[in-house]
Structure 1
Amino acid sequence: MKPRKNSRVRWASLTLVMVAGISCLWWFWDSSRVESMETASGYQMKFRTAGDRIEMYQDQKWQPFFVKGVNLGASLPGHYPGELPITKEDYLRWFAMIDEMGANVIRVYTIHPPAFYEALVEYNRKNAGSPLYLLQGIWSPEEQLIEKKDAYLPEIREEFRQEIRDAVGAVYGDITLPEKSGKASGTYRANAGPYLLGWHTGTEWDPVMVENTNKRHAKAASYLGTHFQTTAKATAFEAWLAEMVDTVAQEEGKHGWQHPMTFTNWVTTDPLSHPGEPIYQEDMVSVDPTHIRAASWDAGYFASYHVYPYYPDFFRFDPALQQVKNDEGEIDTYKSYLRQLKAYHKDMPIMVTEYGVPASWGMAHLGNLGRDQGGHTEKEQGEIDAALMREIAEEGYAGGIVFAWQDEWFKKTWNTMRFELPEDRRSLWINVLTNESLFGLLGMYPNKDGVLNMDGDRSDWDNLPAEEKKRLDLGVPGFQEVWMAHDEGYVYIMAQLDHAFDPQKEKLNFGVDTTPGGNRHASELGKVTLDEGLETLVTLGKDEESEIRIAAGYDPHTRLYGKAYGMLPVKEEELRDDSGVFKPWKLAVGLEMEPPDSKEYHPLEEVAVGKLARGTTDPASADYDSLAAWQAKGNIVELRLPWMLLGFTDPSSLTVMGYAGEGKTLQTVKTQGIRLLPWIAQRADGKPESLAQAISLYPVTKLPRYTWQPWEEVRYHERKKQSYAILQKAYREIRPALLQK
């Protein structure tokens, strides 16, 4: 090889650019200034693999390069990824923040609009000393693969090949993509190829599809391509993957460049054996990167995995992972797994291209050391993400890429998706119980976040425009004023009492009515029977008492996992209307498992998500708590409640869960609004009858409703989460073991 700072000038390409206009010339010239190495065969290289490292050509020599990256999605609140709403200005603003955080690589999963590549080249041209490099993903026909379970079907093969051609053309600014639903389109003229770190081919592989492909095409378990080929140990699916990776190499070679290659993989299809994994499907088949090798591709090839600390379940159950301790002396199964995976991939780089936890109210899986899939404050999210990244660096990996840059409201999670209806409106509100929506380091907050702060100060309510709030004329003893407001994430309540609220002496209750039915009597109501039932009951008191509970007959968790699936014990008397029982709001975090699907019986696991934390939601406060629900100071009490905890399946269309519905499908109904029934329970007399007498003076059907208009557009704002600064510090301090050799 010989060093060369300028890419070979292609006069034909220059002519085309000149025809397009002088204003486009900088795309070409910027790319030509990127320092690279020319191979003996005439290709340009900026990155390559060497042993178990990735190297970058800089200052006329190859130097170790450790990836500190971030995954960037394709959506904004109010949109789905296929709508591609992100503008060039958005990208440029985000790139500056990503750079400031200390990241050096951005990974995208699929082709972004032309604006993305234009912004990347423009940003790097202005920041030539520390550019942001790109790890470009190529989306596989995921839905077809899962549905048809055969990667060798001609239509799947050709669709993937076309996606590869389109992706390479988009990165090198040499393609015009026609409009197609759910896909990026437009004219691509910005050449981002010189800023490319590598190609990340495919998506997480469905194990049933992989096994079925291997069985159907056992005789096709080899591939000998132009640049990549399989080893003698390869399976049919690995041969298919080698062919796709080779296709990427062939397409890129047409542009005179070579970059390192990898394919997407995850723990479910890793090449290790996990005897402690309870579910057979999570350890049934392997997709092994060592069964593919670069035959004539100087830029090389590396392994990449998505590795989260809470999935699959063997992170909690496998004794083989209980042998390694972290710096705090704790058994650390994540660190143990990283070590085993690194040991398997000898003499080749390995990278964790997805890791992280969400800062969400809800959670979907439990992990060791509290590294659950959700249930974290933004501060806790940052601390866990930083710890995971440090372990990735300590175990000799080539880098780590955190998931994800921005929150994405459209995302769904297995344990809340059945309660988000209609499904096609999921992007119009932020369900903080859906952890997948809140992995971002850049928060996408509903419009009253930071405007109505839960801090016990009513001044922000006084300053809120009249059309965005409503005073409820309740006349209930003990309450001077009650106000309500809402946004895309929460219902907000402010109560001014006629005395200072003291949780040691009293409890504050809000009964909530959204639809006909519910509990008209309950122990909390004493001897009074209401004229209309309550769906939920909010109690504010001591820390352990403050929560929102749901009428037992309305509770979707019990109805689905108890009545429909038979995974929970069910008391039939609690399922009837007006059962008089309010139950804790819960989410499933692990389904009941039994043979033959699992090796042994595991009961359903569930967590309470209705606990209401007291704190401040003011992001400017040193005491900021992203999961705080309420605060009280003097006679002012402020509260915010996630829509789903009130039974809403889509607040943007005024849709709530109904009481009807059989089997696994729960019906929805339209609400006319929210009625609040507040009362104060004094601890001293211990007589619910006394408060019930006061309640009886105010029939529920006579109470005013809080109403709002359906919405089709969202208002939101972005803000760096607390986790951003914590990970920024980690990215700046990390000293990778790989670079200390």
Structure 2
Amino acid sequence: MKKRRSLVWTGMLIVLVVAAGLGAAAFMNSRYGWMTPAVERFEANGIQLKFRTAGDQLERYENGEWKPFLVKGIDLGATVPGHDPGELAVTKEQYTRWFGQIAATGANTIRVYTILPPYFYEALVAFNRKHADTPLYLMQGIWSPEEKLIELKDAYLPEIKEAFEEEIVHAVGAVYGDTTIPPKPGKASGKYKANAGPYVIGWHLGTEWDPVMVTKTNEKHAAVPVAEGTHVTAKPEASPFERWLAGLLDDLATEEQKRNWQHPLAFTNWVTTDPLAHPGEVLYNEDLVSVDPMHVTAGDWLAGYYAAYHVYPYYPDFFRIDQTLNDVTDAEGNPDPYRSYLRKLKAHHAGIPIMVTEFGVPSSLGLAHLGPGGRDQGGHTEQEQGDINVAMYRTIIEEGYAGAALFSWQDEWFKKTWNTMPFELPADRRAMWLNVLTNEQMFGILGMYPSKEEKITINGDASDWKKLKKGKDKFRLETPLPGWKEVWAAHDEGYLYLMGELEQPFDAERQLLRFGFSTQAGGNKHAAELGGIVLDEGLDTLLTIGRDDETEMTIASNYDFQSRLYGTRYGMIPYPEEQQKDDSGVFLPWKLTVGLAMEPPDSKFNMPFEDVLVGKLQRGTNDFSSTQYNSLAGWEAKGTTVEVRIPWMMLGFSDPSSKQVITYEDSGKAFLTKATEGVRILPWISERAEAAGAGAGSAAKQVSLEAIKPYTWDGWNVAQYVERLKPSYERMKEAFNSAP
């Protein structure tokens, strides 16, 4: 009986001890967040560490010892199509699904740029608790007051420094799940309860620094003394801007230490403000000032300090013109400027880890900069994107970097780039449609495709068109000229689609198929391509389908955006007066500018104007299940069937979601737009001169373009999209899984 009573008391004592432990845990969780994970960590003097720097590498505490750790990272954006980043439209369910897909690549780290909603951290902690042996670590970015910095050009202004310090406090609280952030437009807010702190691999402070802002800050505050921080201090040789950064890093360290944790620290940097000299750079601002991580030290911070850079192979331009980067060659003996640059940058940062936290190329039709070795900013299929990304990642690791993070996980429709920005109007509706000419929108290895991506397959087979609902999903076009049985049109957020059934099989050696497009008054009523066809209204753009190398979108010379902007306004390219006239009869190739004409004193030396053809449509299929899959495919013809998809901007649209087109007028400062009722489409067939003899061709006749009913649609305020992993995803999976 006494033994049984003893067991009862022992059981009660255990219950009390457990209850006390739970009470203590509840107290800790009330301060440091619920869902606090049980992660192995190193403890010294009450400070907990999971990661630390050791020489030029990163180490993780695992199985009771410190072991080298290579960062295999992916940068994660904050939005989905139809939304700007500040709307924070990614759902918890999407994050959870994405974490699984990212982890499946072999990646061990995700980098985010700013504070995300509470459910992001909840989803990450929940995912990692289910995958305790292979968690996804978090590189947490802290967004700078970027717009104010660029506008005011003085980092020391109280309004800027105070805003940044507040962001640091909020970021640390959000990560550790012990804060409530009040609502603010464009910012995440709410009650943060999930403690993701133990999964942090490092902090990433700030954004890419504007060189003019850095220079002005240095000039205005040259007398600012070096202040010794508690954990992070600027060295005596530090510039005023570097001292400012050191102070913010010290604020970050002090805030995190309140949680009895330490993680490695870094500030964001990029090639434009790197500490190296670039004698081959043409623009002064691209080599104007340095922000040197080596001028900052974190002596009293056990977790250490590292350098983080965004390094792309095509920007700035010195990557392809600076002869000092031709000192390293690849396996074929060709100069490898990217590897040369990485090697020089690594040598400068001797003694601390350095990572490339942004690298990659986009799978877009459009491109904005040329890079050596074909590593251009765009113009790549998804397979080519993967091959280039893998090659860059392996180069980074081979050069001894502590890791790298691929930019980016998902495509981002809201993004802009310099050579298409003037034509995307209104700018605040950019996220509503996919402009495949804007390369910045298509860096992801998770594709965000327009809504008919899986409904219309470009393959020369009309069977998928027959499944579309007449009037709702497709529209039958009028075909006043002979040679066509029927022509259908459809659209989505990325393209205008056409499917034509011919009376006879298409023979590219004998014929040219033509589609003329008009959205407004103006353009060409006559042209060599029209043969003997006489129109009562002009065509803005023209598609010619012939041999594979002939198939091309062209644009009326007086409508051509390229000539109007860089010929009339900037005087960088020839623009003959006769081409500026309405009904000039000339259609020009569709081009994008990739380099502006520059000469001293505005630049260090002369650079010619550079542009590239983008109107050439590639023949192929966008059938993802096919071994011939080509993400850039624009047309295919088989037998009597021809299928086409045309990017909206090539038709003159500045925003298809509100049916806005670029007009023929010019304000002198910006292009003007107006709403269109739709697109009038005229198909015809031209017999080749060598087959039919000289003459206008069998289709010659008068046609009333105004009498043709336009293809039209309702505008949209909700963007539909299809989410799918690209072939570049599989290539990165191979690279990550084969890395050390």
Q: TM-score range by the shorter chain?
A: over 0.9
Q: Distance in 2 between matches of 1:170 and 1:191?
A: 8
CA deviations on 1:302-324 (whole Å, 9 max, x unpaired) are 01100000000110111110010
Q: Distance in 2 between matches of 1:114 and 1:612?
A: 44
User: Which residue is 1:559 aligned to?
Assistant: 564
User: Which residue is 2:14 aligned to?
Assistant: none
Q: Secondary structure at the match of 1:261?
A: coil
User: Which residue is 1:721 aligned to?
Assistant: 726
Is it true that 1:689 corresponds to 2:689 in the alignment? no
Q: Distance in 2 between matches of 1:494 and 1:548?
A: 16
Q: CA deviation at 1:13?
A: 6.8
Is it true that 1:282 corresponds to 2:286 in the alignment? yes
**Comparing 282-291 and 474-483, the one that deviates more:** 474-483
Instruction: Give the letter for the 1:711 counterpart.
Output: W
Q: Secondary structure at the match of 2:147?
A: helix
Instruction: Give the letter for the 2:692 counterpart.
Output: D
Which of 216, 237, 243 does residue 239 from structure 1 map onto?
A: 243
Q: Distance in 2 between matches of 1:423 and 1:339?
A: 40
Is it true that 1:462 corresponds to 2:466 in the alignment? yes
Is it true that 1:299 corresponds to 2:281 in the alignment? no
CA deviations on 1:93-141 (whole Å, 9 max, x unpaired) are 0000000011100000000001110010000000001000000000001
Instruction: Give the letter for the 2:178 counterpart.
Output: D
CA contact (8 A) 1:490 1:640 kept: yes
Q: Distance in 1 between matches of 2:296 and 2:613?
A: 46
CA contact (8 A) 1:450 1:617 kept: no
CA deviations on 1:380-405 (whole Å, 9 max, x unpaired) are 00000000000001000000100000
Which of 338, 352, 357 does residue 342 from structure 2 map onto?
A: 338
Which of 570, 595, 606 does residue 611 from structure 2 map onto?
A: 606
Q: Distance in 1 between matches of 2:174 and 2:137?
A: 15
| Aligned-CA RMSD value | 1.5
Which of 264, 268, 272 does residue 268 from structure 1 map onto?
A: 272
User: Which residue is 1:4 aligned to?
Assistant: none
Q: CA deviation at 1:670?
A: 1.1
Q: Secondary structure at the match of 1:649?
A: strand
1:475-624 → structure 2 map (5 Å cutoff): 475-624=480-629
**Comparing 11-20 and 382-391, the one that deviates more:** 11-20
Instruction: Give the letter for the 1:713 counterpart.
Output: V
Count of aligned pairs: 718
User: Which residue is 1:71 aligned to?
Assistant: 75
Q: 1:516 to 1:10 in 2, by over 3 A?
A: farther
Which of 218, 221, 229 does residue 222 from structure 2 map onto?
A: 218
CA contact (8 A) 1:679 1:691 kept: no
Structure-2-length-normalised TM-score: 0.95
Q: Secondary structure at the match of 2:700?
A: helix
Q: Secondary structure at the match of 2:517?
A: strand
User: Which residue is 2:262 aligned to?
Assistant: 258
CA contact (8 A) 2:460 2:637 kept: yes
User: Which residue is 2:12 aligned to?
Assistant: none
Q: Secondary structure at the match of 2:356?
A: strand
Q: CA deviation at 1:18?
A: 7.4
CA deviations on 1:142-169 (whole Å, 9 max, x unpaired) are 0111111110001100000000000000
Instruction: Give the letter for the 1:84 counterpart.
Output: L
Q: CA deviation at 1:348?
A: 0.8
Q: Secondary structure at the match of 1:512?
A: strand
Is it true that 1:711 corresponds to 2:723 in the alignment? no
Is it true that 1:43 corresponds to 2:47 in the alignment? yes
Q: Distance in 2 between matches of 1:723 and 1:664?
A: 40
CA contact (8 A) 2:532 2:697 kept: no
Q: Secondary structure at the match of 2:646?
A: strand
1:373-452 → structure 2 map (5 Å cutoff): 373-452=377-456
Instruction: Give the letter for the 1:429 counterpart.
Output: W
CA contact (8 A) 1:88 1:116 kept: yes
Q: Distance in 2 between matches of 1:163 and 1:253?
A: 16
User: Which residue is 1:100 aligned to?
Assistant: 104
Instruction: Give the letter for the 1:376 counterpart.
Output: H
Q: CA deviation at 1:540?
A: 0.6
Q: Secondary structure at the match of 1:218?
A: coil
Instruction: Give the letter for the 1:144 counterpart.
Output: K
Q: CA deviation at 1:473?
A: 3.0
Q: 1:244 to 1:18 in 2, by over 3 A?
A: closer
Instruction: Give the letter for the 2:700 counterpart.
Output: Q
Instruction: Give the letter for the 2:76 counterpart.
Output: L
CA contact (8 A) 1:524 1:688 kept: no
CA contact (8 A) 1:221 1:235 kept: no
Q: Distance in 1 between matches of 2:610 and 2:118?
A: 45
User: Which residue is 1:473 aligned to?
Assistant: 478
Q: Distance in 1 between matches of 2:184 and 2:23?
A: 32
Q: CA deviation at 1:658?
A: 0.3
Q: Distance in 1 between matches of 2:273 and 2:23?
A: 46
Instruction: Give the letter for the 2:490 counterpart.
Output: A
**Comparing 699-708 and 380-389, the one that deviates more:** 699-708
User: Which residue is 1:146 aligned to?
Assistant: 150
Q: 1:457 to 1:221 in 2, by over 3 A?
A: farther
Q: Distance in 1 between matches of 2:99 and 2:635?
A: 35
Q: Distance in 2 between matches of 1:395 and 1:151?
A: 34
Structure 1 unaligned regions, length at least 5: 1-8, 736-741
Instruction: Give the letter for the 2:498 counterpart.
Output: I
User: Which residue is 1:6 aligned to?
Assistant: none
Is it true that 1:14 corresponds to 2:26 in the alignment? yes
Q: Secondary structure at the match of 1:658?
A: strand
Q: CA deviation at 1:19?
A: 12
**Comparing 141-150 and 661-670, the one that deviates more:** 661-670
CA contact (8 A) 2:328 2:335 kept: yes
Q: Distance in 1 between matches of 2:226 and 2:271?
A: 24
Q: Distance in 2 between matches of 1:259 and 1:619?
A: 42
Q: Secondary structure at the match of 2:350?
A: coil
Instruction: Give the letter for the 1:174 counterpart.
Output: D
CA deviations on 1:463-515 (whole Å, 9 max, x unpaired) are 11221101113242110010000000000000000111111221111011111
Q: Distance in 2 between matches of 1:712 and 1:199?
A: 37
CA contact (8 A) 2:482 2:699 kept: no
User: Which structure has the larger Rg over C-alpha atoms?
Assistant: 2
Q: Distance in 2 between matches of 1:734 and 1:594?
A: 45
Instruction: Give the letter for the 1:15 counterpart.
Output: F
Which of 166, 180, 196 does residue 162 from structure 1 map onto?
A: 166
Q: CA deviation at 1:219?
A: 1.4
Structure-1-length-normalised TM-score: 0.95
Q: Distance in 2 between matches of 1:294 and 1:566?
A: 52
Q: Secondary structure at the match of 2:134?
A: coil
Q: CA deviation at 1:12?
A: 6.5
CA deviations on 1:418-474 (whole Å, 9 max, x unpaired) are 100011111110000000000000000111002100001100000112211011132
Q: Secondary structure at the match of 1:391?
A: helix
User: Which residue is 2:6 aligned to?
Assistant: none
1:88-237 → structure 2 map (5 Å cutoff): 88-220=92-224, 222-237=226-241
Q: Distance in 2 between matches of 1:92 and 1:687?
A: 65
Q: Secondary structure at the match of 1:708?
A: coil
CA deviations on 1:306-356 (whole Å, 9 max, x unpaired) are 000000011011111001012232211001100000111111100000000
Is it true that 1:659 corresponds to 2:664 in the alignment? yes
Q: CA deviation at 1:529?
A: 3.1
Q: CA deviation at 1:10?
A: 10
Q: CA deviation at 1:364?
A: 0.5
Q: CA deviation at 1:725?
A: 0.4
User: Which residue is 2:736 aligned to?
Assistant: 731
Q: Secondary structure at the match of 1:158?
A: helix
Which of 62, 66, 69 does residue 62 from structure 1 map onto?
A: 66
User: Which residue is 1:5 aligned to?
Assistant: none
Structure 2 unaligned regions, length at least 5: 1-20
